[in-house]
Each structure stands twice: as structure tokens, then as C-alpha cells.
Structure 1
Amino acid sequence: MSSLVQNLTSLETLDLSFINISSIIPVSLTNLSFLTHLALKKCDLFGEFPVKIFSLPNLEVLNVRYNQDLTGYLPEFNRSSPLISLKVGFTSFFGTIPSSIEKLNSLQELDVAQCNFSKSLVPSALGNLRQLTYLDISKSNFGGPIPDSLANLTQLTVFRVSTSSLTGPIPSWLGNFSKLVYLDFAYNQLIGSIPASFSNLINLEILYLQGNNLRGVVEFQMFQKQQNLYQLQLSSNNFEFVTGSNIMNATVQQFTILGLSSCNLKELPHFLQNQTNLERLDLVDNKISGEVPNWMWNLSKETLIFLDISANFFSGELPAVIPWVKLQCLRLSFNSFHGRLPIPPPSLLEYGVTNNKFTGEISPLLCNMSSLLYLDLSKNNLSGTLPLCLGNFSDDLVLLLLGSNSFHGMMLQPFNNRSSLRMIDVSHNQLQGQLPRSLANCVMLEYLVLSNNQFSDVFPIWLGTLPELKLLAMRHNRFKGVIEQSRTIVDFPKLCILDLSYNNFIGEIPPLFSDIIVNKSTYMYTDISYDLNGFSILRSVAYSITIAVKGLDLYYSKIQEGFAAIDISSNKFEGKIPEFIGNIKELRSLNISRNILTGSIPSSLGNLRNLESLDLSQNKLSGQIPQQLTRLTFLGYFDVSHNNLIGPIPQGTQLTSLNRTSYEGNPGLCGDPLPKCGNQEAPQPPPSTEEDSDSGSARMLGFDLIFFSAGIGSGFAVGMVLAVVAITRRQELFLKIVGMVRLMIWKR
């Protein structure tokens, strides 16, 4: 770019918009004194914007929008600047809008949306720019009430202050903006009602007020004067709508976008019957009940591309075939629809019907949706086998959610190596047989839930090659055999949650985990985004799972990124608890209960400083409870019941505050909350200092003299005296010997 402009000293117009330049802006641009028009929109520019460009004597238009890595700041302006249009929106410009901006008395367009300005009130100096026709200061850290100085901007046609922190009411003086075409105050903290003066905005075409705290009665008659109004977004406020048939007449304008979600609607607005041009209709999360009226299926048949009526109280059956020929998004979830699952048009990208009462089999016609990204049929009463084409009918499919139905037979196959799948859930069905090996082709897969079926197979170690897999749940199935280690370099590199409980696995616990590095400030989810006629639709689907934590089966509707859990309970694993578990520093829950594990509890478990739930119950573990477990300060649930543990429970920690049921079934254990250990005081947590060296120096740690007698056969008695003097660097060894002696006494 530098070489391009360095010799063009007489250049007046430079427009390189939408060209991937990927460079800094050369300082040589500041030498183009004849330049009147500079447009570098969406060019992947980076670095700092040369501030001297603002001082070019003839510059009238400056547009560097949509260069996210471009930094810079707005300078102090003087009256000699001829700027007419200044657009730096969607960059990383920082600082503030200087009050001297009011000196730009020729400025007609100002766009500083989605910049990194410091938090401040909406600049009142903007009110002196009386020639402004376009103002966008959205999502740039401005807040507070809308200053009255902006009442001077009566020439505005576009006024956008969305996703900020605006407070207070919408000022009534906005009704004087008779030229206003586009008004966007969405996602703020505005209160009060829609001013009656809005009826004067006769040129208004787009009105976005969603996501505020507005209230009051809204009659659609108030918009009758805005015959050009075609986009109306009022969602997520506290309005009370008047939707009666008295306003259903020919004067109601034709909308293309209508957003009325979370608006306390109790019935469908009657004026919808006259709508023939709707493209997007959003009625989610209202209180509309009863069957969908027949006229609804004739609504905007040729134009509708988005319909969301989820989270209402709709009931009844739906048409066998959805009539909207261009529909791309259909959301029917969280209602009480029943009957057969309707067949959408092939154009569909998103189909969500979870939490209804649909019955019957999935029609193979569903596979005609060749561009589908999102399919959620979960939590219905669907039955039959899964159509084979579902596994391979769309390379673009990201989410496949079929859980909590009554499907039977084999799982979907094949999955090809072009698969985009990131989430698969077929849990709570009656699927059986082996897992399709083609699942290994789903290299983008992050979430796989197979729980509560009748699968019968060995552990799918071949899934360890999936580089993004975070959650694998296989509980309550018939998986069996030894879990062999694969021969790949890294197995399950991102696995955070593994649930193998209630199966028939045998052998030793395999090392399927490495340490987990996560961002604890977010939740695990999958994003789906797509474009609908210029509007971006973003769908975030949170990971969810039912897993045994703290002795209960808990359902997590969202899972924090920092949550890591292993549940391999209710199998037939044997051998010792492996030391590698102590290296999984982010582990929050560990459940290895109801197996046949032997040996002692590894002291390395004391390294799991984030552990909140530890269940080792109903095994054959022996030895003492390691003192190192006293380090687990977040531990809220601990169960070692029904093992062969001995010795005192570590005192002075949360381990003694638990119910005695956490320790029952271990006759050799003693100390709070169990009965006291005779004259022997239970040991306190070890000091945090390093252990002594093995140099041969010793420390006298204790002396315990115990008398006991044992009889062998009738009339034969042997008296024995055992004196144990522990002269060792390891207090643990001494305590183990004492515990073993006590156990011998108890057994005799």
C-alpha cells in the first residue's frame, strides 16, 4: 500500500474498500494534500491510524469501518476541517470523543459504533452538530440519560445508540425528528413508555426498542401514521399489548420484521392476518395458548424465512408439511404440540422442536433439508428407528440432538470425513448394538452423549483421536471389557468430562485424562451463526449433562469451562487407584465408587485443590485416609464408606464435619465423626514444610505401647507385648503401624 500511494501526490479519491490489504496505514498518506475521499472499509488493516490524516486540508470523507485491529484516537478538531462524513465504527479506536468535535460544522455523518472508548456519558457536544443526518454511537461505552442537547439534531435520518447503558425515559422531543428513518435504542436500560409524540415520525421505517425496561400500554394503532414502518422490534420489555380485532384493518402497514418476544402476549395479534410480506416473526416466550389458528398457515407464504413461537402454551397438531416455501429457521420448542412431526421445506437451516409431545417415526422426507445446520428433536415421544440418512445428509450439520425419545435399533451411520458436527446427543433412548466407527470422522466433535441406551460394545478408544472432544457421556449402557490404551500420540487431548458409570468395564483404570487448561469465566457451548437476508442469526447452545456429583444425580443446564469431572462408578474396575489422577489439577468431581478397587488411597489426590466431590465408596480400599486430603479445602462431599480403611480420620478439617455415613462400613476407622480412637489422639494435618532428607538423621515422632492378648484353641493363651517406637522421618509410616495394631486388637 505504501508503494501504491507514495507518488500519487495529486490523488483526490482513494477507495480500496473490501480489499484484503492486511497492513498498517502508511504515514505517506498524510502527504496527499489534495485528498477529499478516503475509504478503507473492511481491509484487515492493523496498527495505529496516523492521526495527521484528520488534518488533511481537503478531506471530506473518511471511512475505515470494520477494521477490528486498527487502533487510534480522535484528535482535537478545528473549524477549518471540511469533514462531511467520519466513520471509524467497528475498529479499536480508543480514548474519548473530544468536545471539540462540535467545531466540525460541516459534519453530516458520524459513526463511532463498537469502538473501545472509555466509559462516559453520551457526549452533549454532539448536540451542536446541527447538520448531522447520520449518528451511530452504539456499543461504545456511552451511557446515562439521553442529553437534551441532542434535541437540536432535527436533521437526523439515522439515530443509533444500541447496546449501551442509556438510562431514563425516551425523550418526547424525538417526535420533532420528522426526517427520522431509522431509530435504534435496543439493549439499554431505558424506562417509561413510548412517547405519544412518536406518532409524528411519519417517515420512520425501522424502530428497534427491544431489550429495555419500557412499560405501558401499546396499541398498534399508534404506528398507523408510520405507513413506511417495516421493521418493528419491541421484544423483552414490560409492555401490555392491545391485540384485539378492532385494529385489524387495511391501514395496518406491511412489516418484514416483527419482534414481539417476551412481551406478555396472551394471544396472537389479529393484524397478523393481513401480513403478506413478513420475513421474520419472533413471538418466543409469551403466554399464547391454544391451537395455532388456520389463518397462521397462510401468513406470508412466499416471504417468511424465520419463525419462532417457542416457549408459549401452544397445543394441538401441526400440518403434515410446513407451508412456507422459503423458511430457513423454525423454532417450535417448549410447547405442547402433539401428533406427527411436521416436514419443513428443504431450505431449512434450523429446526428446533424440543420439549413437545410429538409422536411417531421420523419421516425420511426430513432428510431433504440438505443445508441443515441445527436439528433438535429431543424430549418428545418420537419412536422407530433413525433414518440412515441423518448421519450423512448434510456436511454442514453442526448440532444433532435426538435425546429423550423412544428411538430403537442401531445408531446413525455413516458419518463422512467432511462432517461439521460438534454436538451429538442420542441419550435416553433404546438404541443398541455397536457404535459406528465412522464417528471418528467427526473431527470437530466436542460433545457426545450416549447415556441411557442399550449399546453393547467395548470402549471406543478410537474416539481419542478427536482433537476437540470435551465431553463424553456413556452412562447406563452395556459397554464392557478392558479399556485398552490406544497407540496414538495423544488420547483425548481436551476431554474435561468423562462419564462411564453403570456399565460392565473391567481391568484397571486407564489414563484417559491429561491436565486440563480452561477458561473458567465462560460456559461450554456451541455457536451457530448464519445469514438471513442480511441479518445475522446467532444461536448459542449450552452444553448440558446429568452427572453424579455429591451423591446425587444432578442436571447441569450449563457447564462452566472450569468444570472437570470423572465418573466411572458402578463398573468392575480393579487394581489400584492410579497416581495420574492426582495430576488433573482442574478436577472438580471424582466418582469411582462401586467397583472392586484395592490398595490404599493415593496421597496424590491431595493435589486436587479444586476438588468439590470425592466418592470412593463401596470398593476394597485399605490402609489409612491420607493426611494430604486435608489440603482439599473446597471438598464439600466425601464418601469412603464400605471399604477396608483403618486408623484415625484426619482431624481439624472439613473431613470431620461430614456425616458419619461417609465413613460407615470401615470397622477400622475411628475419630470424629466416628467414636474416638481410645487413648490415641488423631493426628493433625501435616505441616506445609518439605520432608526431611534421607540422610539418616531421624526424628522421634511418637511412642505407643500396646498390650493385647490372643487365645489360640481351648485353654491356650499367649500374652504378648508389642512396643513400637517410631524413629523415622515419615509420620505416615508410624501411624500406619499403629493403625494396623489397633485393627488386630479389634479383630481379636
Structure 2
Amino acid sequence: MQLTSFLLLLVIFSLPLQMQALERAEGRALLQWKETLSNTDGVLDSWSLSNFKNICNWTGITCNTAKYVSKMNLSGYNFNLTGTLHNFGFVSFPNLSHLVLSNNSFSGSIPSAIANLTKLTFLDLSLNYFESSIPLGITKLTRLRYLNLDGNNLNGTIPNQISHLHNLQHLDISFNLFGGQLSESIFSNLSKLQSFHCRLNFFQGPFPTNFTSLSMLKIIELYDNHFYGIIPQEVSRLTNLIDLDLGRNNFWGAIPPQIGNLNNLEKLCLESNHFSGPMPSAFGNLTNLINLLLAHNNLSTTLESLLLCNFNSLGVLDLSRNNLRGPLPQSLWNFSKNLWFVDFSRNKFEGTIPGEFAEKNNLKFINLKGNHLGGPLPRGLLNCSILEVLDVGNNKLVGSFPHWLDVLSHLEVLILRSNRFYGTVGTSNTKCPFPKMRIFDISHNEFTGALPRYYLENFEWMQNESATDDYIMLSPDDYIDLVLKTTEHPVQTYHLFRFLDFSNNHFHGEIPESIGKLHYIRFLNLSHNQLIGNIPSWLGNLSNLEALDLSSNQLVGKIPEQLATLTFLAVLNLSYNHLVGPIPHGPQFNTFNNDSYLGNTALCGFPLTIQCQGSNNRSQPQTPAPNGEEDSGNFEGGFGWRSVVIGYCSCMPFGIFVGYLAFLYGRPKWFVRLVAPVRTLRNKK
């Protein structure tokens, strides 16, 4: 009895010593790891020997009541840590439950020794540069409820042992290089799983049927992979689902009407697949929908089956690039007070644009481009006081220029391209019209008169540098089609672009000096008009200009030497005018070929074969194109811009645009950080 009491007292008195020993082990492990890290910028100064007795007060460290390290959060831009996890000292933290290292610059593989963190419930290693495969050590963390590996360079397949994480509720492996099929066994024991994200990888195979047995699932995000086949009807079993994102894959067949049984669904993204046939009338049961994204499929019939009147919570409606036809419903703009994004572009809708817009509506994006819509623009658009983008290009609209739109002070993109508008564009009763205009495209119409000096003088966001910081990031499948020569270049953010396109009209007179104030304009197209006079030398002040097309006008005189100072100029077309004299020399001018100067018989110098006066080398002058014949080769018809603003889940060529391949194969960190905060853009009103 006495021996038992003695041993008990010995254990009691030894506990403080054990606690101190563990504290010292944790502190030493943190200091040793810190020595291997760089770019800490002083944020880990509290991790020091002088403060060794207070590790619970160290930056990013949280202790439990026993003063053991229980949470470590080194996430965010304030840290920007660079290093690996191989010197972390996993065995030194037996009580660690939360480890958050997201949004740093960690690299290398994830060590299998992570299995020593047996009490870990929350692991976030997202937005780093971790590579190699998922270590089996992670699959031994059976208490894990949250696992986020998003935005790294991890590859290989997903190990079947992930099924051992039977407490897992959230799994995010998006923005990596994973491939292969998602084995059915992976999800066999994940009965508590509520969200699964694997967007932007290389997975393939059919829709994982085991999903349909996970009754607690709320989010399935398979966006931008190589999944294929039909969507099984059993998806209707997932009655708790609020987000179903299957966009940018290779699914085909009819959209299963059973999706209409998912009454809690708030986001449905099926865009950029091969779905065909009509939209199920059962969609009318999805009364909680906020985002409906069906773009870029082969859906047909009219909008009647969609029962828009039931979607009174809808904010984003994207049906673009399908085969939908018939008239637009008169209630289109008013069935939901939350509606802010509408894209019906590239369909076969006909009739007129509905003109009933409720006052103080939330509409910001309207894209009706590429249909068969006729009649005038409805004046009800004046009720869209926060409208930012209006694209009605490539239709059959008629009427004079809608000057009344210039009171919409938030309008940034106006596309009237390829319609039947006519008359002058030069008058306005608004004091500061279109102050935020970035993209103004009225090309391929029947406008006449002089170029609109008053509007040009008031395009403040083309004049001021401060405007470049204020932009809207479109979601991955939202982009502007910039058409240079004959090639479309999709660009995801239109804040980068300031451009004017007045081409293919009947404008006359000289190029107004007010264009010279647009210091941040990057693309200017005045081609195929009847402009006269000299090319102004002040165009050389537009230092951001990347493309200039003045072709097929009546311009005379010399090419100003000042244009040679435009160091960003990549596209130049001065063909079919009456220009004379030598072609300027400069870093950019030396890259342009003969096509830039066709039809100007009195020009000389490189790259033409006609040498200027004083040279012994002469050849025959170029022959101008016959009357009525347009520019040939790369500049046929001049160059223009087409704008498409398309909504969805995040549900991108995020296939995605020009940087897509670079992103997947070693993505630049700035790009990952730029995209991650806007993944849920379409969930805003």
C-alpha cells in the first residue's frame, strides 16, 4: 500500500517536469525549423531563445489549457514563408490538432512523417508549391475532418487509402496535376463527407457512382477535368446538395430531369460539355437556385420549359453558346430581384429585346451578342443604374445611336458592333457621359458624321492611371474575345484593356485631337471610314498603344516619326490610304511587314522594296487595290474586337485563357493568389 502511494506521488510530482520537457521539445523543434525558412521578413521574430518560456505567445501558435501547442496558423500574405516541411519535427507536436500553412511558398514533397500528428483534425497546405504525390502518411490521420491541398503541384493518382479518413468532411485537391480515375473505393468509407473539390486537374472516367451514396454531400466540384459519359439518375439521391459543378468536362446526353429533385441546389454548373436536347422542365422545381450555368452545350428549343418565373433567387443565368431559339420572354429582366448577370449570347433568339426593367434592379452584365434580335434598344435600360457591361453585337438591331445610355455612370463596356445603327454619334446632353468606359465598340454599322469628340473627351478611365486599379475579375469562362487580324484571343479580365473601335462605318473628317488624351488606350481601330487629313503626330503620346488600325481611309501626308516611339505597338495597319514619304525606323516599326502599308504608292523604305530618294536601289511601286476591294492577307477587313461576358461557377478555360497551360505546369504564384479569392465571384448579387 505504501509502495502504491509512493509511486502515485512520484507520478504526480513528475508531471510538471514532463510538461516542461514537452514544451522545450516543441520550442526547440520550432526554432530548428525556423532556421531552415527564408523570406520571413521578421514575422517570426517572436520565435527566439529569449522568449523560449512563452512559446504559447509566439506568432501563429495557439496552446491548449495544458500549454501544449494545439494549433499552428502561418497562413497569409504576412508570412510568405519559403522552405520545406522536412525539418518540421513532426514527433514533437503530439497535441497538434490544426496545421495551417496555406498561401506561402513551401516546396518539396509532403513528408510521410506527417502521420505522427495523430491528433490532427484540420490540415491546410493550399496555395504552395508542394509536389510529388499524396503521401500515405496523410491517410493515417484518421481524425482529419478538413484536408485542403488546393493550388499546389501535386501529381499522380489519389490513393485508395484516403478511404481510411472516415471522419473527413471537407476534401479539396483542386488546382493540381492529379490524373487517372477516381476509384470507387476512395469514397467507400467517407460517409461524413460534405464537400469534394477537384477542379482543374486531369481526372478522367465516368461520374463516380459512389458519390450517390454519400447522403451528407453538399458540394461536388469536378470542374475542368476529363470526366465523360452520362450523369446517372441516382444523383437525385443527394438531397442535401447545394452545389453541383460538372462544368468543362466531356459529359454527354440529355440533362437528367432527376436533377430537378435537388430542392436545396443553389448552384448548377453544366457548362462546356456535350449535353443536348431540351432543358428539363423539372428545373422549375429548383426554386433556391442562385447560379444556373448551362453555356456551351447543344441545348435546343425555347426558354418556355425553363419556367424562369420560379427562379426568384437567381443571380447568374448563363445559357450562351447553345441552339436556343424563339423570342425572349417579356419577364426576362424581372423574374428575380437578385439577377445581376445574364448571358444569352451565340444562340438563335429572335424578336425584340424585352423592354420592361424594374427600377433599381441589380443588373450589371447583359450579353445578347450573336442572335437574330431586331428592333431598337429598349429605353427601359435606363433603369439599370449599375449596369457595367452591355453587349448586343452581331444582331439586327436598328435605330440611331442610343445617346440616352450615357447617363449610366457605371457602364464600362458598350458593344453595338455589327448591327444596323445609323446617324451621328456626336451629340449629348449629359455633363460627363460614360466616365468609366473601357471598351467602346460601335464598328460595322452605318454611323456617319465626325468622330464623337465630346464622348472621347469624357472617357475618364481611358485617361487616368487610377482607373487601372479598379476592375472586375470575371470567372474562368468569362472572357473578352479580342480579334486581331483573323485570330480571336480570349482574355479573362477586361480591366487590362482600353480600346475603341469605330471601324467599318461612314465617319468623315479629321482624327480628333481628343483621342490624344486617352493615354491608357491600348487598341484603336478607325479603319474603313472616310477620314481625311494627316496622321496626327500626337498619336505618339499614346504610350500604351498596342494595336493601331487606320487602314482604308483617305489619310494623306507622311507617317509621323513620333509613332516610332510606341514601344508596345505590336499591330499596325496603315494600308490603303494616300500616305507618302519614308517609313519611320524604330524597334517596333522594324517588325512590321509590307501588309501594314499596302495601297500607299508613294511610301518608301523598309520593309518595302522601294528605296527612298538617294538610294541606288529602286523597284516598281506597289499597285493599289481596286476600288471596293478590302485589305488582303492578315488585315482583311481591318481588325476589330468582340466582347463576350459569360457567367458560371467557377464552374475558366480558369481552360482557361492564355495562361492556362503555364498555370497547370508550374503555375506562377501571383496567378494562383489572384484567382483563388474570386472563385466564388458568381455568388455575389
Q: TM-score, normalised by structure 2?
A: 0.75
In structure 2, the partner of 1:351 is 292
Q: Give the alignment partner of residue 481 of structure 2, picking from 513, 530, 545.
A: 545
Distance change >3 Å, CA 642–CA 98, structure 1 → 2:
same
The structure having more radius of gyration, on CA atoms, is 1
Q: How far apart are the structure 2 equivalents of 1:414 and 1:385? A: 15
Residues 566-619 of structure 1 show CA distances to partners (whole Å, capped at 9, x for unaligned) of 111111111222111122112222211111222232232232222232222222
User: In the TM superposition, what is the alpha-carbon distance from 1:106 to its structure 2 partner?
Assistant: 7.3
- Aligned CA RMSD, in angstroms, stands at 3.2
Distance 1:201 1:318 in 2: 39
Question: Which residue is 2:119 aligned to?
Answer: 179
The letter of the residue matching 1:214 is L
Question: Which secondary structure state, in structure 1, belongs to the residue aligned with residue 252 of structure 2?
Answer: strand
SS in 2 for 1:203: coil
- Please give the alpha-carbon distance, in whole angstroms, between the structure 2 residues aligned to 1:352 and 1:214: 29
SS of match in other structure, 2:552: coil
Q: CA 1:553–1:462 in structure 2 vs 1: closer, same or farther (change >3 Å)?
A: farther
Query: Which residue is equivalent to 1:390?
Result: 332
* 1:494–1:516 contact (8 Å) kept in structure 2: no
Distance 2:113 2:184 in 1: 32
**Equivalent-residue separation in structure 2 for 1:637 and 1:680 (angstroms):** 28
Aligned counterpart, 1:675:
610
Partner of 2:151: 211
Distance 2:443 2:604 in 1: 31
CA distance in 2, matches of 1:492, 1:381: 34
> Displacement, 1:101?
8.0
The alpha-carbon distance between structure 1 residues 650 and 271, as it changes in their structure 2 partners (threshold 3 A), is closer
Q: Residue 312 of structure 1 corresponds to which residue in structure 2?
A: 249
Cross-structure match for 1:477: 419
2:141 to 201, 205, 220: 201
2:313 and 2:425 map into 1 onto residues whose CA distance is 38
Equivalent residues of 1:219, 1:241 under 8 A apart: no
Q: 2:428: which partner in 1?
A: 486
Aligned to 2:89: 149
Q: Specify the code of the residue in structure 2 equivalent to 1:233.
A: D
Unaligned 5+ residue runs, structure 2?
A: 1-26, 28-40, 618-685
CA distance in 1, matches of 2:332, 2:430: 30
Q: Which structure has more RCO (C-alpha within 8 Å, separation ≥ 6)?
A: 2
- Partners of 2:223 and 2:185 lie apart in 1 by 24
* Helix, strand or coil at the partner of 1:159: strand
1: distance between equivalents of 2:300 and 2:59?
52
* 48, 64, 69: which one aligns with 1:100: 48
Measure how far apart 1:211 and its partner are: 2.5
What is residue 624 of structure 2 aligned with on the other side? none
Letter in 1 for 2:119: K
Q: 1:258 is aligned with what amino acid?
A: F
1:326 matched residue in structure 2: 264
Deviations 1:409-449 (A, max 9, x none): 11132223322222221111111111111222222222221
SS in 2 for 1:457: strand
Are the structure 2 counterparts of residues 507 and 154 from structure 1 closer, same or farther at C-alpha, using a change threshold of 3 Å? same
Partner of 1:424: 366
2:31 aligned residue: none
Distance 1:668 1:306, change over 3 A: same
Q: 1:132 aligns with which of 69, 79, 84?
A: 69
Paired residue secondary structure (1:196): coil
Please say if residues 370 and 394 of structure 1, whose CA atoms lie closer than 8 Å, have aligned partners that are also in contact.
yes
TM alignment of 1:302-701, pairs within 5 A: 303-320=240-257, 322-342=260-280, 343=283, 345-363=286-304, 365-511=307-453, 512-513=455-456, 514=459, 515-518=462-465, 525-526=472-473, 542-547=478-483, 549=484, 551-552=485-486, 554-559=488-493, 561-650=495-584, 655=589, 658-672=592-606, 673=608, 675-678=610-613
Q: Secondary structure at the match of 1:587?
A: coil
Q: Residues 256-277 of structure 1: CA distance to partner in whole angstroms, max 9, x if unpaired?
A: 1122332513233332231111
Instruction: Give the deviation of 1:656 after TM superposition.
Output: 6.7
**Residue number in structure 2 paired with 1:295:** 234
- Whether the 8 Å contact between 2:207 and 2:228 is mirrored in structure 1 is no
Q: Secondary structure, in 3 states, of the residue corresponding to 1:480?
A: strand
Deviation at 1:542, TM superposition (A): 4.6
Contact 1:520 1:560 in 2 (8 A): no
Partners of 2:501 and 2:187 lie apart in 1 by 59
Distance 1:234 1:633 in 2: 42
Instruction: Tell me: CA distance 1:391–1:109, structure 2 relative to 1, closer, same or farther (3 Å).
Output: farther
Instruction: Please say which of residues 283-292 and 129-138 is displaced more in the overlay.
Output: 129-138
How far 1:110 sits from its partner (Å)? 7.3
| C-alpha deviation, 1:495, in angstroms | 1.2
Query: What SS does structure 2 have at the residue aligned with 1:506?
Result: strand
Summarize the Cα distance change of 1:565–1:393 in structure 2 as closer, same or farther, 3 Å threshold.
same
1:151: Cα distance to partner?
2.8
CA contact (8 A) 2:207 2:229 kept: no
More strand by share: 1
Secondary structure in 1 aligned to 2:225? coil
Q: Deviations over 1:174-194 (max 9, x none)?
A: 323332222222222223333
Tell me the equivalent position of 1:76. Answer: none
Where structure 1 has 5 or more consecutive residues not aligned to the other structure, the ranges are 1-78, 80-92, 114-124, 528-538, 683-748
**Residues 540 and 561 (structure 1), Cα distance of their counterparts in 2 relative to 1, 3 Å cut:** same
Larger fraction in helix: 2
Q: 1:292 to 1:590 in 2, by over 3 A?
A: same
The Cα offsets for residues 611-655 of structure 1, whole Å up to 9 and x where unpaired, read as 232222222223333343333343333333322334444457755
Distance 1:677 1:171, change over 3 A: closer
